[in-house]
Structure 1
Amino acid sequence: ICGYLAQTSYFNQLTCIALRDHDENPTFLPGLEKVLEQFSLVIVKERLGLYAYQVLKAKWRFQFKLLVWVDNLVAFPAHDVDQMRTIRTEVSNAADCFLVQSNSARIALELEGVASNRIQSFTPWIEERGDRTPAGRAKARAALGLSESDLIIAYLGQIEWEEGLSDLIAASKLLINREASLRAKLKIVICGVGSFSSDMRDIIKAMGLEENVVYYAPMRRLSASRKRFNAFAACRTW
């Protein structure tokens, strides 16, 4: 995974550090606090897992700046789970800054009582120019190995159970069952990495959709071709 990220990342000279898994709780990363000792600025994604609390403990010890990247659009997420609620509260209180990519995420934080001056917005990467002509569309699809006649449903994001990818796969199967012509036309483009990848492939195989699913690694070429898809899938289980 470290090698894959180093090869596909937009950033130059990216260094990835692999920490061993903890079988009893996958959100706990043994050795994380020691690794963070060498940094003066740490960005943590979300506020619910034990790894976030480990980062917080490291901040208390090593006094680095802590930025929390939030994309959960619900105020007080996981409030019914004692451990997650405690972690979220402690991390939120100690964070030096929150990073958001949408106004909805900002509003969710403000509803939790986070002061607006602690929230900073940054824009997702966007292709500045795009060829929207029919010829440009055909060229972009061809570069991805897709036909102009394909009906493309694209998912770009983390490959995790929470993202509802099993629902996307099941819905695609239902579409084909109801309209047989989609067997040859429907393409599900999946771009991302995550812990659900193996299970997702098993589901795809069990439903007989292997010929309808196309996998791509995250890269600029795919980002620039987003406008070539017919639809995007965006669903979460919680």
Structure 2
Amino acid sequence: MNEKYGVSFFAMNDELFLSSKKRLFEFKESLEQNDLSIKYECQARVDIFDDEIAQCLKDSGCTFVNFGMESADQNVLDLMNKRTTVKQNTDAAKIARKHNIAYGLNILWGNLGDTEKSLKEDLQLIKDYNVYSQLRTIKPPTPYPGCDLYYEAINRNLLKGPDDFFNKFKNIDLMLVNFTDIPEEKFYSLLFEANKELIYDHFEKTEGDKKEAEEMIQTYHDLYFKGDVSFRGARHYDKITY
């Protein structure tokens, strides 16, 4: 692809791309041996991300790492069986920043154990560790058929089965099942205010167009409160700079 079509940037969508240091080092060596100077992005778990991995990524052309941090609340992480800690989340961000690698802060709110307090913690984590290479917002979790959260919804009689899921699924930024003790209307009000704060913060820090920020906030409002499911996420509109 590089030689024939001139492709120089690759998205590594393998969720286990960094599960083996040996394979990562072999990948780097193979690029060098074949004189391939490329840039790429990949995904990583925070509990295996360290200085050695970060340096190897940097040396092999990685410019962006996507972290599935999910939450800034340890109880929520434990309930979702994430097997990571909040400290590992923040340590991974610090290591990536130290090696000048942009990273994604992926946070979900609306999981088992989530509260108004945990949303504030999620919001603060993003603001504290954001490198503003992308517009980061917070989404509710989606209990896709086959995952643990789906069976939790089945056990709670919140979903009847896969047909019920696909009939209800309209947009990834909407709450399909409410796993919290927060009424739906208040849930969306809280999430709207959090994402509005993140959008304004992003456009302020990147010196973006305030009008564009307000238009984006309006799209969230129309999604949450008017059911406009044509919305495709904040980063769909963002000028990514990594």
Question: What range describes the TM-score normalised by the shorter chain of this pair?
Answer: 0.3 to 0.5
Q: TM-score, normalised by structure 2?
A: 0.36
Q: TM-score, normalised by structure 1?
A: 0.36
